[in-house]
């Protein structure tokens, strides 16, 4: 390597940006050329002087707080951007809710007292798990005459099964589940882009309050009611209004 | 809506955790560019707000380089705006407007020491492009590739600018030495 080539690559060598071959070639040249070596030493001296921490400007002490405040204020305008991107956020939120739900399912039994509250979390968690897993349905059919017989012999009751496709709730299938130590029948309906799970089991305690109630759990809506000795729970991420509509449709059919 | 605002909050927390610790480098760069505290503060603040707005689009691994690129761009824009402003006012006014920065530099006492003062002066005399690469390389230790990303020039240009910047700095320091 001659002087011209060396000087062209000297800074890259000095900054450790060269490959091994060129590095070795430059080192070889520097050993033998005092003029190029002085250029190299000039850089070493310069770097040494620039190392001085006093050359750096330190941040004014209140500055980080000032920026933090500005960011907090700028937070409203950005909401527009975020909601514009909600197409991206919503699946992420669902996944987060699902993970949260699964976590709750694993822990909630110990944390919550028995009763409606724990039933809410169990039912909601079960619904969420069915959506993230592959176990949405055991019997896939929109035909109530296929789904209803499928439950026969698996439960100590015969769940009413109806397709409400005309009202917007299309029967997808049925599944057998185990909630709070009891076998339950689950019917899955599709409403627009939402799945609706209807849980039915034998009334556990006739003395408990059996009036219709609505609950919210991790972004999911739940409705409980009791009909003909069956505890019914419906859960979905569909709007509460749609869910109540579904409940009414069910109740009209059952009564 | 509640969920959305929780996400806003979460997003801001993430941004703050990732970007606020980089403030010393951001401020130092801006301060060297703008040459006074007030303009440097404005630039860094602008840069942070801009960075927050585009934080969603940041997926790289070097938040440092990403933030400093924004700081550098904001500073360049501000300096360009200043430059064109200056072109419309008269020369007399220009001289008057050129009020020297009254805020003390980093650690004024230490800088009483003349060697330190000299190198500061020399650095400030360097053309902006040269000052940029020196600061990014010598103060912040960025690689050529990172400097190329921040400054928006090819790696080869980073190398040649560093080379010329160092030579110029050496000449400036030598001249100062002769003048004493």
Q: Higher pLDDT residue, A149 or B116?
A: A149
Residues B79, B158 within the same domain: no
Same domain, B31 and B4: yes
Under the banding of pLDDT at 50, 70 and 90, the label for residue A137 is: confident
Residue B135 and residue B67 share a domain = no
Average pLDDT in the A143-165 region?
Answer: 87
**Number of folded domains that form chain B:** 2
**Please, is A97 exposed, middle or buried when counting C-beta atoms within 10 Å of its C-beta (0-12, 13-18, 19+)?**
buried
Residues in A closer than 8 angstroms to B48, CB to CB, are 67, 70-71
Mark out the alpha helices in B99-154 (DSSP H runs): 108-111, 114-125, 128-134, 144-151
Residues B71 and B53 in one domain: yes
Residue of A10, A63, A72 to mutate, testing the B interface (most B Cβ within 10 Å of its Cβ) = A63
The residues facing A213 across adjacent strands are A224
Q: Is the CB of A43 less than 8 angstroms away from the CB of B166?
A: yes
3-class DSSP string for chain A:
CCHHHHHHHHHHHHCCCCCHHHHHHHHHHHHHCHHHHHHHHHHHHHHHHHCCHHHCCCCCCCHHHHHHHHHHHCHHHHHHHHHHCHHHHHHHHHHHHHHHHHHHHHHHHHHCCCCHHHHHHHHHHHHHHHHHCCCCCCEECCCHHHHHHHHCCCCCCCCCCCCEHHHCEEEEEEEEEEECCEEEEEEEEEECCEEEEEEEEECCCCCCCCCCEEEEECCEEEEEEEECCEEEEEEECCCHHHHHHHHHHHHHHHC
Residue A162 phi, psi (nearest 5): -140, 145
Instruction: Kindly state whether residues B54 and B132 are assigned to the same domain.
Output: no
Q: Nearest C-alpha of chain A: how many angstroms from B16? A: 8
Separation CA A242–CA A27 (nearest Å) = 77
CA distances from A175 to A15, A130, A163, A203 (A): 66, 10, 15, 19
Shared domain check, B136 and B74: no
Domain boundary assignment for chain A: 3-55, 84-254
Domain boundary among B50, B81, B102: B102
Instruction: Mark yes or no for CB contact B3/A49 under 8 Å.
Output: no
Q: Is the pLDDT of residue A6 over 90?
A: yes
Pair (B60, B47) in one structural domain: yes
A54-65 residue pLDDT tens: 899 999 988 999
CB contact under 8 A, B44 and A63: yes
The predicted model scores a pTM of: 0.53
- CATH classification at residue B161: 1.10.10.10
Average pLDDT over residues A165-176: 90
Where does a domain end: B75, B102, B129?
Answer: B102
- Interval B21-72: pLDDT, tens: 999 999 999 999 999 999 999 999 999 999 998 888 787 778 899 999 999 9
The domain that holds B27 is classified in CATH as: 1.10.1740.10
Among B12, B116, B143, select the one facing A75 at the smallest CB separation: B12
Query: Is residue B15 domain-shared with residue B97, that is, in the same domain?
Result: yes
Show residues of chain A in contact with B32, CB under 8 Å: 57
Instruction: Assess whether B93 and B144 both reside in one domain.
Output: no
Interface contact A90, partner B, CB < 8 A: no
B79, B116: one domain: no
Cβ-nearest to B166 among A11, A17, A60: A11
pLDDT of residue B102 exceeding 50: no
The Cα–Cα gap between A186 and A151 comes to 10
- Partner residue opposite B53 with nearest CB, options A59, A78, A85: A78
pLDDT at B93: 41
Measure B89 CA to nearest chain A CA, in Å.
31
**Which residue of A56, A59, A86 is in closest CB contact with B23?**
A59
The CATH label, of 3.30.420.10, 2.40.128.20, 3.90.550.10, 3.30.200.100, for the domain at A84-254 is 3.30.200.100
Task: State the burial class of residue A185 (Cβ atoms within 10 Å of its Cβ: 0-12, 13-18, 19+).
Answer: buried
Residue A82 has pLDDT above 50, yes or no: no
CA distance B28 to chain A (A): 5
Q: How many angstroms separate the CA atoms of A114 and A191, rounded?
A: 31
Q: What is the mean pLDDT of chain A?
A: 82
Would you call A84 an interface residue with chain B, using a CB distance cutoff of 8 Å? no
Question: Within the 131-160 window of chain B, which residues sit less than 8 Å (CB to CB) from chain A?
Answer: 134, 137-139, 143-144, 159
> What range defines the domain where residue B49 resides?
1-102
Q: How many CA atoms lie within 13 A of A123 on its CB side?
A: 33
């Amino acid at each position: 390597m001659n002087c011209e080539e060396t000087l062209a690559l000297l800074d890259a060598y000095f900054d450790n940006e060269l490959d091994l071959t060129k590095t070795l070639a430059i080192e070889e040249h520097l050993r033998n050329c005092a003029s190029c070596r002085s250029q190299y030493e000039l850089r070493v001296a310069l770097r040494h002087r620039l190392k001085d921490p006093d050359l750096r400007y330190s941040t004014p002490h209140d500055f980080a707080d000032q920026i933090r405040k500005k960011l907090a204020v700028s937070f409203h305008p950005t909401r527009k951007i975020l909601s514009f991107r909600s197409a991206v956020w919503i699946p992420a939120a669902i996944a987060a809710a699902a993970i949260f739900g699964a976590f709750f399912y694993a822990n909630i039994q110990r944390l919550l007292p028995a009763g409606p509250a724990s039933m809410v979390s169990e039912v909601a968690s079960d619904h969420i798990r069915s959506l993230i897993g592959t176990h949405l349905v055991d019997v896939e059919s929109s035909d109530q005459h296929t789904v209803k017989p499928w439950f026969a012999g698996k439960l100590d009751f015969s769940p009413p099964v109806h397709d409400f496709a005309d009202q917007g709730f299309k029967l997808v299938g049925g599944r057998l589940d185990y909630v709070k130590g009891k076998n339950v029948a689950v019917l899955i309906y599709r409403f627009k882009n939402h799945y609706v799970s209807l849980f039915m089991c034998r009334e556990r305690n006739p003395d408990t309050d059996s009036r219709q109630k609505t609950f919210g759990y991790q972004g999911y809506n739940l409705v409980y009611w009791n009909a003909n000795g069956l505890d019914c729970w419906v859960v979905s991420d569909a709007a509460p209004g749609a869910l109540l509509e579904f409940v009414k449709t069910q109740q009209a059919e059952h009564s | 809506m509640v969920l959305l605002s929780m996400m806003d909050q979460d997003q801001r927390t993430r941004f703050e955790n990732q970007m606020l610790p980089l403030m010393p480098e951001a401020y130092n760069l801006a301060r060297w560019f703008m040459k006074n505290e007030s303009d440097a503060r404005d630039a860094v603040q602008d840069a942070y707000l801009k960075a927050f707005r585009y934080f969603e689009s940041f997926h790289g691994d070097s938040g440092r380089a990403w933030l400093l690129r924004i700081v550098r761009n904001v500073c360049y824009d501000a300096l360009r705006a200043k430059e064109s402003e200056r072109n419309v006012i008269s020369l007399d006014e220009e001289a008057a407007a050129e009020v020297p920065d009254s805020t003390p530099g980093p650690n004024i006492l230490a800088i009483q020491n003349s060697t330190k003062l000299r190198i500061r002066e020399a650095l400030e005399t360097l053309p902006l492009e040269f000052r940029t690469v020196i600061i990014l390389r010598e103060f912040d230790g960025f690689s050529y590739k990172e400097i190329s990303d921040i400054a928006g020039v090819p790696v080869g240009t980073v190398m040649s600018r560093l080379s010329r910047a160092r030579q110029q700095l050496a000449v400036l320091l030598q001249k100062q030495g002769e003048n004493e």
